[in-house]
Amino acid sequence: MKFSVFALAAAGASVLAGGASAQDWPARPVTMIVPYNPGGTTDILARLAADAIAAAIGQPVVVDNRPGAGGVVGATLAAGADNDGYTIFFGNNATNVVQPLINPAVMYDAVTSFDGIATTADAAVFIGVGSATGVTDLDGMVAYLNANSAKYGSAGVGSMGQFSTEYFLQQTGTQATHIPYQGSNNAVAAILSGEIEFMADPAVTRQIDSPMMNVIAVLSAERHPGYPSVPTAVEQGYDLSLTGWFGIFAPEGTDPAIIAAMSAPLADMVASEAYQEQVLTMGLLPNYRDAAATDAVVVDDTAVFTQIRDAAGISIN
């Protein structure tokens, strides 16, 4: 009885206080906008994060799928939402770095429209080469590219695969023609059929055992625990490191205390064994960055991707 009187008083105080501040937050469920269809990689990760946040803040976190236009529909909606801590966004480096860089129709800004809460996983990019080329490592790849006019596939214009490959070509001083496909899977099929020679994409890991494709390198700092046989580019003497990531954001200007309250439980989640196991099964790498580090990775990646974009001339218009 005593408790409920107290709760009532607290509720009254919060009504009097009016706007949203860290004291009365969360008074109602939080909405998490996910810019892709349910069931996909981003959605699965988003739901894990939503559950972890909900358990910590004592209010439900409702996932709201808003797919379309490569994630831009959901991201635009989230960027324009009230910054009261009741709307958050589960994005990735495509929605929060690449799209604002290549698509002039995108109205939000990568750096200033969102405040980072945390990242929960990284997506390592692997390079797969059709086995007909005889290429088995990066040295061989560079030699092949110098001797042949090769073609590479990607999941589309402005995809992570196109950026990664262009980055590789720029760093090694080689050239290849970009052939865009609709989605990674169609490009993988094109390598198996010999239509194109190579691609850089997380999806090629499914072909590690295939006799038709050689997976020759991973562009992350360390080898992927799920695919320990694939050496990193750095090991092979190429200073190439470029990873995708998945992260949670709040509209710009959200109270830092609210952001901290949602970031802390994600650190515990990413550290948990069950989460790590699940994320590795999906071919990803668990990786927590706190709010400041998430903001920093957006700034850093924006610089790197701007440079790649300008050198390769990647754009949607």
Q: Which parts of this chain interact with other proteins (CB under 8 A)?
A: 37-41, 43-44, 47, 64-70, 72-73, 76, 102, 105, 151, 156-158, 177, 179-183, 185-186, 188-190, 192-193, 195-196, 206-207, 209-211, 278, 281-283, 314-317
State the Cα–Cα distance between residues 84 and 286, nearest whole angstrom. 28
| E strand intervals along the chain | 30-34, 61-65, 87-92, 114-124, 126-130, 150-154, 176-180, 198-200, 213-218, 243-251, 285-289
**Closer of 4 and 281 to other proteins (Cβ):** 281
Please name the amino acid found at residue 230: V
Least Å distance between CB 103 and other proteins?
8
Q: Are 20 and 30 in contact (CB under 8 A)?
A: no
**How many whole angstroms separate alpha carbon 36 and alpha carbon 91?**
9
Question: Which residue lies nearer to other proteins by CB, 181 or 275?
Answer: 181
Closest distance of CB 179 from other proteins, Å:
6
Distance, in Å, from the CA atom of 33 to the CA atom of 26, rounded to the nearest integer, reads 17
Complex with other proteins: residue 136 or 315, whichever CB lies closer: 315
Nearest CB to other proteins, comparing residues 231 and 283? 283
Task: Give me Rg for the CA atoms of the chain.
Answer: 22
Q: Which is nearer to other proteins, 192 or 234 (CB)?
A: 192
Question: Residue 66 or 289: which CB sits closer to other proteins?
Answer: 66
| Nearest approach, Cβ of residue 266 and other proteins (Å) | 19
Q: Which residue has the tokens 């700092």?
A: 221
Least spacing, CB of residue 190 vs other proteins, in Å:
7
Which of 103-126 are b and which e, b meaning 16 or more Cβ less than 10 Å from the residue's Cβ?
beebebebeebbbbbbbbbbbbbb
Least distance in angstroms from the C-beta of 49 to other proteins: 14
Strand partners, 91: 247
Q: CB of residue 58 vs other proteins: minimum separation in angstroms?
A: 22
